[in-house]
Amino acid sequence: MAYPALKALREGFPNVTIDYVSLLPATTSMLSETSRFQGLFDGLHEIRMPVNPGTAIRSIRGVLSLRQKRYDLSILLFPTLSFHYNLLSFLIGARKRLGFRYPDDRISNLAWLNTLLLDVREGIHDVEQNLGIIRLAGIPPLEDSVVSLADGVSGVKRQPVIGFHTGCKRGYEYKQWDNDNFARVIEYLRARAPAFRIRMFFGPDEVVKKEWFKERLGAEGIEYLSGLSLGKTCELISDCPIFVSNDSGLMHLAVFTGCEHVIAVAGPSDERRTGPYHPGARVVAADIPCRPCSHGYLLSTRKLRCREKEPMRCLASVTPEMVIKEIGRAMDEYSSASSLRSIF
């Protein structure tokens, strides 16, 4: 979700050296292996934070190397829920440091180490938070084309394939819709929309999940994909005009690769902040008064604290019929599927 901000920064400062500091290996892979990021920054550096015994020496060397560059400006991209983001920006020695101030900010988050803070705005997407802080750096108002995550990849002719990601990042299992619900959706589609192939994506931590679906659904009309490079994953997702997912990284990747119809199943997460950023996207969520309670606009929503007597009722209340209905609408908008419109 950093792409529009990076693009705006490069267009605003075409002759300035821009380095990107990544704190996660997955982010490093995305930036280095995806062609759309080429030319948006000059250097890519990875520093593991927070520091642990296995990464301490490498992280210290990385910080010292960055300090030698004597940056004029450091910009933190949203979200900055942990203190180490603010600490790293301070340690690299940039003269001017831009960061975010949460409504429930506290001293221990170290936001005060920045020289200029932007108040987190409730109700807007992370993409827009990042564009807001880029404006503090002196970037003029942006064109709509710059804001789009799918800029430059729309209009690609796609196969009749529906992509699915039934998993999520390790540690965020509470955001996963039940396997049985996904299976019921796929069984319905396979019976009623045979012209569409099913393409299922599984991460390295989802081997057991993959085997569960293979046993439940069999091989007819379904591809089970895992162990792919990021580039290959992007290529295969970009073939899908429709992509159904939990609130996960692959959901955002589907938007990034230009998928026209991303359908996200949302539980406790706040889709206003982390939902699929695309006008054709749909979020399927239950009308539960206590949601959203996670991944919101406060530091306190960083960790899930479900207080319901029936834990995760918000996610359990999303039915296969609700998701099937949204897939049917997406199919109606997919020109090559016009003959299938009546099945829903």
**Tens digits of residue pLDDT in 55-104:** 888 889 999 999 999 999 999 999 998 999 999 999 999 999 999 999 99
**Residue 156 maps to a domain:** no
Identify whether the C-beta of residue 187 lies closer than 8 Å to the C-beta of residue 217. yes
Q: What is the pLDDT of residue 104?
A: 93
In whole angstroms, give the CA distance from residue 60 to residue 241. Answer: 45
Same domain assignment for residues 112 and 196: no
Residue 129 lies in domain: 3-147
pLDDT at residue 156 is higher than 80: no
Identify whether the C-beta of residue 277 lies closer than 8 Å to the C-beta of residue 1. yes
Same domain assignment for residues 76 and 179: no
End-to-end CA distance of the chain: 33
Q: What is the pLDDT of residue 50?
A: 76
**Residue 155 maps to a domain:** no
Same domain assignment for residues 110 and 221: no
What share of the chain in percent tops pLDDT 70?
Answer: 92
Model pLDDT for residues 229-250, shown as the tens digit of each residue: 998 999 999 999 999 999 999 9
Same domain assignment for residues 140 and 187: no
**pTM as predicted:** 0.89
Q: How many domains does the chain have?
A: 2
**Residue 208 maps to a domain:** yes
Same domain assignment for residues 123 and 177: no
Lowest mean pLDDT of 27-31, 192-196, 211-215, 308-312, name the range: 308-312
Same domain assignment for residues 130 and 184: no
User: Following DSSP, what letter does each residue of 19-67 receive, concatenated?
Assistant: EEEESSHHHHHHHHH-GGGTTS-SEEEE--SS--TTTHHHHHHHHHHHH
* Among candidate residues 120, 116, 129, the one with its CA nearest the CA of residue 73: 116
- Helices (H) and strands (E) in the chain — how many of each? 13, 11
In whole angstroms, give the CA distance from residue 207 to residue 115. Answer: 46
Same domain assignment for residues 113 and 177: no
pLDDT band at 170 (very low <50, low <70, confident <90, very high): confident
φ/ψ of residue 322, rounded to 5: -65, -40
74 bridge partner residues:
97
pLDDT at residue 300 is higher than 90: no
Q: What is the pLDDT of residue 208?
A: 95
Same domain assignment for residues 141 and 248: no
What's 51's domain CATH number? 3.40.50.2000
pLDDT band at 151 (very low <50, low <70, confident <90, very high): low
Q: What is the pLDDT of residue 340?
A: 46
In whole angstroms, give the CA distance from residue 13 to residue 8. Answer: 8
Residue finishing a domain among 123, 147, 171: 147
